[in-house]
Structure 1
Amino acid sequence: MEPVRASVYKRMIAEHKQIAEKFRSEGRGKAKAILGEKERDLKQITSEAYRKAQELKGKADAEAVRIYADAYEIDPEFYSFIKTLDIYRSALEKDTTLVLSTNSEFLKYLKGYSAKQRKVR
Structure 2
Amino acid sequence: MKKSNLLIPILAGLVFVALSSIFIVDERQKALVLRFGRVVQIQEDPGLAFKAPFIDEVVRYDDRILSLEVGPLEVTPLDDRRLVVDAFSRYRIADVNSFREAVAGEGIAGAQRRLDKIMRDQTREVLGSVSSNDILSSDRAALMLRIRNGAITQARSLGLEVIDVRLKRTDLPQANLEATFSRMRAEREREAADEIARGEEAAQRVRAQADRTEVELVSEAEREAEVIRGEADAERNAIFADAYGADAEFFEFYRSLNAYSAALQAGNSSMVLSPDSEFFNYLKSATGAGR
Normalising by structure 2, we get a TM-score of 0.35
Between stretches 40-49 and 86-95, larger displacement belongs to: 86-95
5+ long unaligned stretches in structure 2: 1-172, 287-291
Q: Counting helix residues as a fraction of each chain, which structure ranks higher?
A: 1
Percent of pairs with identical residues: 33
Matches within 5 A, 1:32-51: 32-51=204-223
CA distance in structure 2 between the partners assigned to 1:87 and 1:14 by the alignment? 78
Residue 107 of structure 1 aligns with an amino acid whose one-letter code is F
5+ long unaligned stretches in structure 1: 114-121
Larger Rg: 2
Deviations 1:46-91 (A, max 9, x none): 1111101101100110110111111111111012223434555677
Counterpart for residue 106 of structure 1: 279
CA distance in structure 2 between the partners assigned to 1:105 and 1:10 by the alignment? 93
CA distance in structure 1 between the partners assigned to 2:249 and 2:285 by the alignment? 18
Closer, same or farther: CA 5–110 of 1 in aligned 2, 3 Å: same
Counterpart for residue 6 of structure 2: none
Closer, same or farther: CA 104–17 of 1 in aligned 2, 3 Å: closer
Closer, same or farther: CA 12–105 of 1 in aligned 2, 3 Å: closer
Closer, same or farther: CA 47–73 of 1 in aligned 2, 3 Å: same
Residue 47 of structure 1 aligns with an amino acid whose one-letter code is S
Closer, same or farther: CA 90–37 of 1 in aligned 2, 3 Å: same
Counterpart for residue 96 of structure 1: 270
SS of alignment partner, residue 96 of structure 1: coil
| Residue-pair matches, total | 112
Matches within 5 A, 1:39-118: 39-85=211-257, 88=260, 94-101=268-275, 104-111=277-284
Q: Counting strand residues as a fraction of each chain, which structure ranks higher?
A: 2
CA distance in structure 2 between the partners assigned to 1:55 and 1:7 by the alignment? 71
Normalising by structure 1, we get a TM-score of 0.76
